[in-house]
Amino acid sequence: MAEQKATNITWHSGAITNEDRERLLNQKGIVIWYTGLSGSGKSTLAHAVEEKLFENGNISYVLDGDNIRHGLNKNLGFSPADREENIRRIGEVSNLFADSGVIAMTAFISPYRGDRDKARELVPEGRFIEVYVKVPLDVAESRDPKGLYKKARAGEIKEFTGIDAPYEEPLNAELVIDTSEHSLEASADIVINYLKEKSLIN
Ligand SMILES: Nc1ncnc2c1ncn2[C@@H]1O[C@H](COP(=O)(O)OP(=O)(O)OP(=O)(O)O)[C@@H](O)[C@H]1O
Ligand SMILES: [Mg+2]
């Protein structure tokens, strides 16, 4: 749990509101939170959705696991405490993006239910869309796009989700997409159609 260290700090609100920004951008600021095993397709799907949103005239931004670990979260590893802090920061950053009117998409394994729920709590009701990118472990392992499962099985990587660290499945995800059953195109359309149904985009 991150403690509040600073005292004597006061929130400053500007005249331009979230609603003003959303009107300007003609979309709702939301967080689409992709979660699932390594190799389930979070990054691939998030970027496919980004392309479709772009073509539709919507501004979105993908916060992707490894990229964020190169910068903002470079001082964090994969222990349970560091994974929690990793997700806490991503939750805060994605909420800022959503408040700016942008469609923030996060592609992190985010294996702990409690951490994902905390990220959800930051965002206004209806603005957090959890997408469980579901795939059987053996499919994820056979894809192994980064060769990580091979290393985990060889004992070269410890605490690897699905092998020797837990993955807690979402209980109430807005969307569950099995990427071993749906093509990338169809998977991306599921997300886009959901956003249209909920009037989050036009
Ligand atoms: N419907 C689909 N959606 C997304 N990816 C798919 C789909 N079908 C097959 N794939 C393939 O699955 C692999 C998913 O890899 P990707 O890097 O996106 O996973 P990830 O969940 O981001 O993993 P990591 O947590 O390690 O970053 C890619 O090789 C992709 O081409
Ligand atoms: Mg990824």
**Cross-strand pairs, 34:** 107, 131
Q: How far is the CA of 1 from the centre of ligand 2 (A)?
A: 25
The long-range contacts involving 170-176, CB below 8 angstroms and separated by at least 24 positions, are 170/35, 170/113, 170/116, 170/130, 170/132, 171/113, 172/130, 173/35, 173/130, 173/131, 173/132, 174/129, 174/130, 174/131, 175/129, 175/130, 175/131, 175/132, 176/131, 176/132, 176/134
Answer yes or no: is the C-beta of 67 below 6 A from any ligand 1 atom: no
Q: Quick check: 1 pLDDT over 90?
A: no
Domains, the chain: 21-197 (3.40.50.300)
The closest ligand to the CA of 180 turns out to be 1
Mutate to test the pocket of ligand 1, among 44, 64, 190 (most ligand atoms within 8 A of CB): 44
Answer yes or no: is the C-beta of 27 below 6 A from any ligand 1 atom: no
Q: Global pTM?
A: 0.96
Q: What percent of the chain has pLDDT over 70?
A: 100
The C-alpha atoms of residue 80 and residue 85 are separated, in whole angstroms, by: 9
Catalytic residue list? 110
Instruction: Name the residue with tokens 């942008």.
Output: 102
Answer yes or no: is the C-beta of 182 below 6 A from any ligand 1 atom: yes
User: What confidence score (pLDDT) does residue 136 get?
Assistant: 97
Q: How far is the CA of 65 from the centre of ligand 2 (A)?
A: 6
Answer yes or no: is the C-beta of 110 below 6 A from any ligand 1 atom: no
User: What confidence score (pLDDT) does residue 116 get?
Assistant: 97
Scored b (16 or more CB within 10 A) or e, 170-185 reads: beebbbebbbeeeeee
Reading across the β-sheet that carries 175-178, which strands appear in turn?
60-64, 103-107, 30-35, 128-134, 175-178
Q: How far is the CA of 13 from the centre of ligand 1 (A)?
A: 40
User: What confidence score (pLDDT) does residue 66 get?
Assistant: 85
Answer yes or no: is the C-beta of 39 below 6 A from any ligand 1 atom: yes
80-103 average pLDDT score: 96
Task: Kindly indicate the confidence band of residue 35, based on its pLDDT and cuts at 50, 70 and 90.
Answer: very high
The closest ligand to the CA of 42 turns out to be 1
Answer yes or no: is the C-beta of 94 below 6 A from any ligand 1 atom: no
Query: Which atom of ligand 1 is nearest the CA belonging to 184?
Result: 1
